[in-house]
Chains A and B, each alone.
Chain A
Amino acid sequence: MINFAYEVKPATQSWSRNALRLLACLTLCMVATMAIAKPNPKDEPPKFVQDVANGLLVVLKGDPEVKQQNMVRINEIVEQFIMPYVDFERTTRLAAAKYWRQATPEQQQALADAFKNTLVRTYSGALTKIDNSTTMEILPFRGEADAKDVVVRSSVVQSANTQPIRVDYRLRLEPEGWRIYDINVENVWLIQNYRNQFSQEINRSGIDGLIAALNERNSQN
């Protein structure tokens, strides 16, 4: 009997401990799945953008290498958490405007790659400033239900007590779902802001000249 009593006590203890563990695990799992809820391009645009941003924020907040501006790591993160949801060819094509047609497929590819690296550098500075107080709030969506080209508006607070920054995303509905192709930071659309620079450089030294100029910028630090 005594033996039995002895057996019971540790058993209840371990049961409650297990229950605790299970609970802890469940919460962790839930947090983890919430964090890595893979953005679904077939969702409504605001939810899709929110998921992309959340995924990115979670990774950035927990990564010391980003803070040190390790470009290899930043590029990895961009490839994994941003590029799948962006129609980058379209971004480059629209920035190159009428010159896109004059470029060979190889030039188009090279231009898109060079431009992508430029933009990663553009935003890498902002990415390193993200800390635990960084928040992004999606503003009420104004797109029409059947629109194929919409804007998702958001307000980003980079760190405590600083002025919120308005960031908008422009998306287009493609066969595989929504994809982001332009971004607006504080009233300035990205594509629009690169159009003149692109045409200026192409007029001066051709499409290869533009690619070279972008790559040259990218190799500087």
Chain B
Amino acid sequence: MAIKRIKHWVLAASVLVLTGCASTQGPENPADPWEGMNRGTYAFNDAVDRAVFRPVAELYAFVTPRPLRTCIRNAYLNLGEIWSMINSNLQQRHVEAINTTGRFLLNTTMGLGGCIDVASMQGLPRVKNDFGVTLGVWGVPQGPYLVLPLLGSSSVRDGVGTGVDFVGNQLDTIGLIPNVRLRNSLWGLEVVVRREALLTVSETVDRTALDPYSFIRDAYLQSRTALVSGGLDAQELPDYEDYEDVQADERALGITQETNE
């Protein structure tokens, strides 16, 4: 009797576990073959974010007036322009490199150390760039989507890129500061500042995404593809096959339509 009952429980439990697996898997996304592992890392990151990074960023936003936050954020972005310009050159996008150099010079001087983004006001918007994009321009494929611990959305290619970025970015800016304490404080502040800039984004995702994981993944992959192809303007528009149009065409051509998926 007892064994029979245990058997039943095991069976019931395994059915539960199996259906549980089935419901999280679904059809595989070719861009994300490691979805199971990625979702694990994502859940971990999300938990750490909610416990540590987000509250700290919110506190920072609460105690710092907005103009000052904008100023600090701009100053960090301005420091990043040097590495960005090097990457534009590596990608043979020399016009972009000149644009970025101009931005850096203008904002560092007229913009008081990058605090005021004078260049954007003059119609020279920032070009986002990093070594992952450079690798992409050189023809390295994106590779599987990869969620990095603490760093978040990436891919095999962009993960390598991030490693190089970290070195490259520090060699020409904050990393040059000999005072260890000051250097580490500036790095720490940078993390807070970056997270703060994303607060509204994460709120929106929380409020509206059906599945935050795939929402963030798809947004990341779309945006990376656009950056590699040289921005939105260089990119082809998404071709949404409109099934209504297909139907209308078929009707017009007189092909009777049996509903297939």
Question: Which residues of A pack against B, CB within 8 Å?
Answer: 90, 93-94, 97-98, 100-102, 118-119, 121-122, 125-126, 129, 142, 149, 151, 153, 155, 157, 159-164, 166, 168, 170, 182, 184, 186-189, 191-198, 200-201, 203-204, 210, 213-214, 217, 220
Q: A217 contacts B117, CB within 8 Å?
A: no
Q: B207 contacts A187, CB within 8 Å?
A: no
Query: CB of B79 within 8 A of chain A?
Result: no
Query: CB of B209 within 8 A of chain A?
Result: yes
**Are A93 and B211 CB-contacts (below 8 A) given A161-B117, A187-B227, A204-B23?**
no
Q: B116 contacts A161, CB within 8 Å?
A: yes
Interface residue tally of chain B, by bracket? Answer: 35 or more
Which chain B residue shows the least CB distance to A201?
B210
Q: Which chain B residues border A119 with CB–CB below 8 Å?
A: 208
**Are A200 and B207 CB-contacts (below 8 A) given A166-B232, A191-B240?**
no
Sample of 8 more A-B contacts, CB < 8 Å, known A151-B237, A161-B67, A163-B120: A93-B242, A102-B259, A126-B204, A161-B116, A191-B238, A197-B218, A201-B210, A214-B210
Q: Which chain B residues border A210 with CB–CB below 8 Å?
A: 210
Complexed CA–CA distance, A121 and B203 (Å)? 11
Q: B214 contacts A162, CB within 8 Å?
A: no
Q: B77 contacts A163, CB within 8 Å?
A: yes
Interface string of B118-148 (1 = CB under 8 A from A): 0010000110000000000000000000000
Which chain B residue shows the least CB distance to A166?
B232
Query: CB of B71 within 8 A of chain A?
Result: yes
- Would you give the shortest CB distance from A135 to chain B, in whole angstroms? 10
Q: B116 contacts A213, CB within 8 Å?
A: no
Q: B244 contacts A193, CB within 8 Å?
A: no
- Pick from B67, B237, B243: contact of A98, CB under 8 Å: B243
- A-B CB contacts (within 8 Å), total count: 119
A-B contact pairs, 25 of them (CB 8 A): A93-B242, A94-B240, A98-B261, A100-B243, A101-B261, A102-B259, A121-B207, A125-B200, A125-B203, A151-B237, A153-B233, A157-B120, A163-B77, A163-B126, A182-B238, A187-B223, A187-B232, A192-B238, A192-B240, A196-B29, A196-B214, A197-B218, A201-B211, A204-B23, A204-B26
Question: Which residues of B pack against A, CB within 8 Å?
Answer: 23, 26-27, 29, 66-67, 70-71, 74, 77, 116-117, 120, 125-126, 200, 203-204, 207-211, 214-215, 218-219, 222-223, 226-227, 231-233, 237-238, 240-244, 247, 259, 261
Complexed CA–CA distance, A2 and B27 (Å)? 99
Q: A161 contacts B71, CB within 8 Å?
A: yes
Q: B207 contacts A197, CB within 8 Å?
A: no
- Would you give the shortest CB distance from B259 to chain A, in whole angstroms? 6
Q: B215 contacts A122, CB within 8 Å?
A: no
**Are A189 and B210 CB-contacts (below 8 A) given A94-B242, A163-B120?**
no
Complexed CA–CA distance, A102 and B259 (Å)? 8
Q: Which chain A residues border B219 with CB–CB below 8 Å?
A: 188, 193
Q: B233 contacts A203, CB within 8 Å?
A: no
Complexed CA–CA distance, A101 and B261 (Å)? 8
- Would you give the shortest CB distance from A202 to chain B, in whole angstroms? 10
- Pick from A102, A170, A187: contact of B261, CB under 8 Å: A102
**Are A200 and B232 CB-contacts (below 8 A) given A94-B240, A97-B240, A129-B200?**
no
Q: Which chain B residues border A170 with CB–CB below 8 Å?
A: 237
Complexed CA–CA distance, A143 and B251 (Å)? 30
